[in-house]
């Protein structure tokens, strides 16, 4: 199955998240076969990252967004488990620092874009400025409204400068979020992840849903696509994201660069 085609938000599509089942597994089951496929895919990702790093002609930017407890940290931990840390950076976008707040909203994102040969992962991203900023009315509507076009232009610039962009919306149900919040409260190993702010944000579920639908609809482009990843099942989330990343890298036809000198003339004594 081509996960890229199956889960991509087609440009120009008006998205309604109620039409995307967060419990869907596309026919896959939680069994040994799915685990083998995930393990094989992550192993292949390691080899493709090595090619990306060696060729040094493109970079890959992975954007992860989702409701609280959707699994952004877990996706990074599991999908990127086998890659070389030397060629992979993770940037978490929290409340802007004083320095970041003194610049335009895209400044901190552009600063974190991976260099050629590298993979960069945004845990949350520049899309927070049309999500939380919109939901909590931190700026007037006419300000966040124009940011969709600015984001599209920003990502177009990145693409034109050899950054391949993959954006994943980790789609969970409200019931699954409740279950994961309860686990954080009851499991001592997960207590540290519990935050009062998360429970407050849950009250805005419907508002965030509408904000995400607009972001997915208005900012999924041919060269900077959004993917809606059914994420009620963590194992399937990891399978889907890893498959899309590897499928994308395969399509880049990465090659090792040719030596810059005649190897036959080298004599090791």
Whether residue 93 lies inside any domain: the answer is yes
The model's pTM: 0.96
**Which residues lie below 8 Å from residue 195, measured CB to CB, with a gap of 6+?**
none
d(CA 175, CA 163): 36
Whether residue 220 lies inside any domain: the answer is yes
Q: Which CATH number do you get for residue 185? A: 3.40.50.300
Whether residue 40 lies inside any domain: the answer is no
Under 8 Å between Cβ of 165 and 114: no
List, for residues 67-93, the tens digit of each pLDDT value: 999 999 999 999 998 899 999 999 999
Whether residue 257 lies inside any domain: the answer is no
Under 8 Å between Cβ of 166 and 223: no
Which residue matches tokens 């896959």? 28
List, for residues 24-76, the tens digit of each pLDDT value: 999 999 999 999 999 999 999 999 999 999 999 999 999 999 999 999 999 99
Residue 102 banded pLDDT, cuts 50, 70, 90: very high
State the maximum Cα–Cα separation within the chain, in Å, rounded to a whole number.
Answer: 71
- Closest C-alpha among 197, 215, 36 to residue 228: 215
Whether residue 212 lies inside any domain: the answer is yes
Q: What percentage of the chain exceeds 90 in pLDDT?
A: 89
Whether residue 174 lies inside any domain: the answer is yes
Under 8 Å between Cβ of 179 and 71: no
Provide the residue range defining the domain that includes 231: 53-100+113-252
Mean pLDDT, range 2-6, rounded to an integer: 96
d(CA 200, CA 181): 12
d(CA 80, CA 58): 18
List, for residues 196-241, the tens digit of each pLDDT value: 877 889 999 999 999 999 999 999 999 999 999 999 999 999 999 9
List, for residues 119-166, the tens digit of each pLDDT value: 999 999 999 999 999 999 999 999 999 999 999 999 999 999 999 999
Tokens of 47: 């080899």
What per-residue confidence (pLDDT) applies to 195?
Answer: 79
Whether residue 106 lies inside any domain: the answer is no
- Domains in the chain, number: 1
Whether residue 41 lies inside any domain: the answer is no
């Amino acid at each position: 199955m081509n996960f890229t085609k199956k889960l991509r938000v087609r440009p120009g599509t008006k998205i309604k998240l109620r039409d995307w089942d967060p419990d869907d597994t596309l026919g896959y089951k939680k069994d040994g076969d799915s685990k083998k496929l995930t393990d094989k895919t992550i192993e292949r990702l390691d080899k493709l990252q090595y090619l990306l790093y060696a060729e040094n002609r493109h970079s890959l930017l992975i954007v992860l967004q989702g409701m609280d407890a959707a699994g952004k940290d877990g996706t990074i931990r599991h999908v990127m488990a086998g890659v070389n840390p030397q060629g992979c950076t993770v940037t978490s976008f929290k409340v802007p620092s004083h320095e970041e707040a003194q610049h335009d909203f895209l400044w901190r994102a552009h600063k974190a874009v991976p260099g050629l040969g590298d993979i960069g992962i945004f845990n949350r991203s520049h899309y927070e400025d049309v999500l939380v900023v919109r939901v909590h009315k931190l700026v007037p509507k006419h300000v966040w409204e124009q940011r969709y076009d600015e984001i599209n232009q920003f990502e177009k610039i990145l693409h034109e400068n050899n950054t391949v962009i993959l954006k994943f919306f980790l789609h969970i149900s409200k019931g699954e979020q409740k279950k994961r919040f309860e686990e954080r409260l009851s499991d001592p190993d997960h207590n540290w992840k519990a935050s009062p702010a998360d429970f407050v944000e849950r009250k805005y579920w419907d508002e965030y849903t509408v904000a995400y639908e607009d972001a997915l609809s208005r900012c999924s482009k041919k060269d900077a696509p959004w993917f809606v990843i059914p994420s009620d099942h963590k194992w399937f989330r990891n399978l889907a994201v890893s498959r899309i990343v590897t499928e994308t890298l395969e399509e880049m036809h990465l090659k090792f660069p040719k030596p810059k000198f005649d190897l036959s003339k080298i004599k090791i004594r």
